[in-house]
Structure 1
């Protein structure tokens, strides 16, 4: 697809959109049209930043030079298999499943690291995930992550039915 933004432009688009969204939420909160706690705003912001800078849809190009991979530093090498698993602008660039592929891949990588750590150094205490996890925590995390992903896809010109159209065409051919 010609004319798609570079990684830097994607980041600038997301930062600008976040600024507008934050201003609108602040204005709506002051008018008492919306109630968002500081913690919820923080969760949304953190997930949005992670989705913008670390878990970009362009990690499907991770075998090359990708901003998101570089932001991981030395750990960027962990995303090379992801880039080999997913073709660029394929499943990884769908609106619902695409962002999930990166979260699942990251969860698998973390599980592998935790497994190796437990095997190599069983006495090391690893941080636990607090239980139960509240919807007031999860909802802004999911929203922040997905909004950042969708802004990227919009900038790439990817329609929300991108993956479904291809799947339906394959079904019709059978």
Structure 2
């Protein structure tokens, strides 16, 4: 198996790709080839940044020293169970479900922490529920997050059918 980039190299690849994409989008917008609102650009950028630095596919190695876990600061320990749940380059490194596993885990941990806080401190204010979000704002968020994940997988040499082939082989047995 070929060597894979370090966390720092993954981050540099994503930063470089984002820079090229942002410059191209800015140029295309100024030439009136596409229309991108500031809110769409912000959602894409926020999701791409979170996907690159906080929710990397390498969180499946969170028992060790992983850049993404370190970027969480004192809360980095919350990702250790994720690393124990998912084997490295397993489901967490698939193109569609892998990114969803990190979002689902983050949602679960948030509910768990808020629930514990409410048990200890019943007056703890609950986060406000989001109002319905339009697809014009949600789509750039999803694209930014998934693109950041896919760049990581491409750099690792993970093909889009990763995991599917293995599952298909198990079915054929």
Normalised to the residue count of structure 1, the TM-score between the two structures is: 0.97
What does residue range 1-174 of structure 1 map to in structure 2 within 5 Å? Answer: 1-173=1-173
In 1, Cα distance between equivalents of 2:30 and 2:124: 47
Instruction: Measure how far apart 1:93 and its partner are.
Output: 0.3
In 2, Cα distance between equivalents of 1:61 and 1:83: 5
- After TM superposition, the structure 1 stretch with the greater mean CA deviation from structure 2, 121-130 or 158-167, is 121-130
Instruction: Measure how far apart 1:162 and its partner are.
Output: 0.6
In 2, Cα distance between equivalents of 1:23 and 1:146: 19
Instruction: Measure how far apart 1:137 and its partner are.
Output: 2.1
Structure 1 residue matching 2:152: 3-state secondary structure? helix
Instruction: Measure how far apart 1:129 and its partner are.
Output: 2.7
In 2, Cα distance between equivalents of 1:129 and 1:35: 29
Structure 2's unaligned 5+ residue stretches are none
In 2, Cα distance between equivalents of 1:110 and 1:34: 37
In 1, Cα distance between equivalents of 2:63 and 2:32: 48
* Matched residues, number: 173
Runs of 4+ that moved beyond 6 A: none
In 2, Cα distance between equivalents of 1:71 and 1:138: 25
In angstroms, what is the RMSD of aligned CA positions?
0.9
Structure 1's unaligned 5+ residue stretches are none
Normalised to the residue count of structure 2, the TM-score between the two structures is: 0.97
